[in-house]
Amino acid sequence: MSPAVGLNSSGAMAAAFACAIYILGGKLAVDEAAEWQSQATGILLQNKTFNQVFRLAWKLDAAISGGYSSGAAVLASMIGARYPVIYWSAGRAEKDSYPGQFEYPAYVGGDLDALDNIPMFAARLEEIYDLQGDKDLPLDYGLLFTGRARYSFAATTI
What angle do the packed helices 9-24 and 48-64 form, to 10 degrees? 130
pLDDT tens digits, one per residue of 31-85: 999 999 989 999 999 999 999 999 999 999 888 888 888 888 899 999 988 888 8
Does the reported pTM lie above 0.85? Answer: no
What pLDDT score does 21 carry?
A: 97
